């Protein structure tokens, strides 16, 4: 009986030790692993957010730049298309500026003749297209970075010239060019704006002349 009691006592003690629950919680190594993973996730999220912000800014900048260029083209063509031959104010121009009388000026009433002038100037590292109407201040119509530009004029014979000057004895049909072209060259691209004067139909032109 004594042996059985010992055996019973020993058996009971062994079962109690095996059924003892483990202590709940994380080890220091597990905590470190979790922190490292969280740091990586946060870093990836921040990088993605930064890229998204830059992409969004780039898109907005491109949209705004395209919108501004469309308005520049529209205003330039609007004014130039209304230029007509005038006995008092002759149309004159060179590679850097031109002036004349337009019936579709930006600040005047539609159909009302008004003296207008465009000119290109370099200001620092920018090329500016300036516009002015008679009796009003000059204002910036276009702006390009690290660019160069010039005006060209198409005559009735389909030839381009960078100088336009007429005499009082010249016939009315030859007092204004058929087309005025504005050529802008930047390090990234080339931009060409053209407008027909007075609703004229331009003759066949050799546009290779503009590449010179």
Distance CA 118, CA 177 (A): 15
Question: What's the pLDDT score for residue 71?
Answer: 86
Question: What's the pLDDT score for residue 201?
Answer: 58
Question: What's the pLDDT score for residue 150?
Answer: 96
Nearest alpha-carbon partner for 105 in 70, 141, 56: 141
pTM for this entry? 0.67
Two tokens, residue 163: 């100088």
Question: What's the pLDDT score for residue 98?
Answer: 96
Question: What's the pLDDT score for residue 11?
Answer: 47
Question: What's the pLDDT score for residue 133?
Answer: 95
Question: What's the pLDDT score for residue 126?
Answer: 94
Nearest alpha-carbon partner for 204 in 150, 154, 156, 158: 158
Pick out the chain residues at pLDDT < 70: 1-25, 168-169, 172-173, 199-212
Handedness of CA 65, 96, 181, 74 (dihedral sign): positive
> Residue holding tokens 């005025």?
180
> pLDDT by residue (tens digit) across 156-174?
888 899 999 877 667 766 7
Question: What's the pLDDT score for residue 200?
Answer: 61
Question: What's the pLDDT score for residue 204?
Answer: 57
> Residue holding tokens 């705004």?
64
SS (H, E, C) 83-98: EECCCCCCCEECCCEE
Two tokens, residue 78: 């609007």
Question: What's the pLDDT score for residue 21?
Answer: 55
């Amino acid at each position: 009986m004594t042996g059985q009691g010992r055996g019973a006592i020993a058996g009971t003690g062994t079962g109690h030790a095996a059924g003892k629950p483990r202590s709940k919680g994380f080890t220091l190594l597990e905590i470190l692993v979790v922190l490292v993973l969280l740091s990586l996730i946060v870093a990836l999220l921040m990088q993605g957010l930064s890229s998204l912000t830059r992409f969004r800014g780039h898109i907005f900048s491109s949209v705004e730049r395209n919108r501004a260029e469309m308005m520049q083209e529209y205003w330039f063509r609007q004014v130039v298309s209304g230029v007509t031959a005038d006995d008092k104010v002759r149309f004159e121009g060179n590679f850097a500026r031109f002036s004349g009388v337009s019936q579709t000026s930006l600040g005047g009433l539609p159909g009302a003749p008004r003296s207008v002038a465009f000119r290109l100037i370099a200001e620092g590292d920018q090329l500016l297209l300036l516009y002015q109407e008679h009796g009003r201040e000059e204002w910036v119509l276009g702006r390009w970075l690290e660019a160069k530009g010039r005006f060209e004029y198409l005559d009735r014979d389909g030839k381009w010239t960078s100088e336009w000057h007429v005499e009082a004895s010249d016939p009315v049909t030859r007092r204004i060019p058929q087309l005025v072209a504005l050529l802008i060259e930047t390090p990234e691209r080339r931009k060409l704006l053209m407008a027909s004067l007075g609703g004229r139909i331009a003759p066949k032109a050799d546009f290779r002349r503009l590449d010179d």
